[in-house]
């Protein structure tokens, strides 16, 4: 039976002022590292992608992001959904649109993982993080981070 998951998601690049990137290891795919990701949930997010991004950051890392610290890159990526995950979506859905956000936090920020979603976390310099993630869209976002040196929320 097809799922009801919406093919609209967020990617939140959590980083420090020194451009260290927080990566999470997927529980369902050990060895696959990524930034915070998640799909919009209409009943929780009311169609607001910023709410989706804040919710996913809180659920996956325990970090309570204030709305003004979450930066909307106004960038979206369209990609094919892995076949093994397509059953989560309505019948005939094969692609997802991912919207990119970032959140700058102090390096000492405590991270509390959702154990059903992630096995481990680590902080890596941006170049090493770009090499470690499995997703091309995550890699590309990390590689763009140095262009955001003047990000207002990153003190």
pLDDT in tens, 115-150: 999 999 999 999 999 999 999 999 999 999 988 755
Neighbour-count burial of 136, counting CB atoms closer than 10 A to its CB (0-12 exposed, 13-18 middle, 19+ buried): exposed
Domain encompassing residue 130: 8-148
Q: 41 and 22 in contact (C-beta within 8 Å)?
A: no
Q: Would you state the pLDDT for residue 5? A: 86
So what's the pLDDT on residue 1?
Answer: 59
In a domain, 153, yes or no: no
Residue 3 falls inside a structural domain: no
Q: Judge whether residue 155 has pLDDT over 90.
A: no
Whole-angstrom Cα distance, residue 126 to residue 14? 11
- In this prediction the pTM is 0.91
Question: What does the alpha-carbon distance between residue 22 and residue 36 come to, in Å, rounded to a whole number?
Answer: 9
In a domain, 30, yes or no: yes
Which of the pair, 87 or 25, is modelled with greater confidence? 25
- The number of distinct structural domains making up the chain is 1
The answer to whether residue 29 sits within a structural domain is yes
CATH of the domain at 22: 3.90.79.10
**152 has a pLDDT exceeding 70:** no
Residue 87 located in a structural domain: yes
Measure the CA–CA gap between 155 and 153, rounded to whole angstroms: 6
Residue 98 belongs to a domain: yes
Residue 110 lies in a domain: yes
| CA–CA separation, 20 and 22 (whole Å) | 7
CA angle 34, 36, 40 (to 5 degrees): 125
Tokens, residue 7:
């093919």
**Mean pLDDT value of segment 59-77:** 94
16 in a structural domain: yes
Place of tokens 């696959």: 32
Collect all residues with Cβ–Cβ distance below 8 Å to 15 and sequence separation of at least 6. Answer: 21, 22, 102, 103, 104, 105, 126, 145, 154
Query: What is the pLDDT averaged over residues 71-85?
Result: 92
């Amino acid at each position: 039976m097809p799922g009801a998951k919406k093919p609209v998601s967020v990617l939140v690049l959590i980083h420090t002022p020194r451009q260290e990137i927080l990566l999470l290891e997927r529980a369902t795919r050990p060895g696959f590292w990524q930034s915070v990701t998640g799909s919009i949930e209409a009943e929780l997010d009311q169609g607001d992608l910023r709410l989706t991004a804040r919710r996913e950051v809180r659920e996956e890392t325990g970090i309570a992001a204030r709305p003004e610290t979450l930066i909307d890159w106004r960038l979206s990526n369209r990609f094919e959904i892995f076949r093994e995950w397509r059953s989560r979506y309505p019948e005939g859905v094969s692609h997802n649109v991912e919207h990119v956000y970032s959140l700058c936090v102090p390096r000492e920020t405590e991270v509390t993982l959702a154990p059903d979603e992630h096995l481990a976390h680590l902080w890596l310099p941006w170049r090493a993080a770009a090499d470690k993630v499995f997703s091309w869209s995550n890699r590309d976002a990390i590689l763009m981070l140095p262009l955001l040196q003047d990000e207002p929320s990153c003190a």
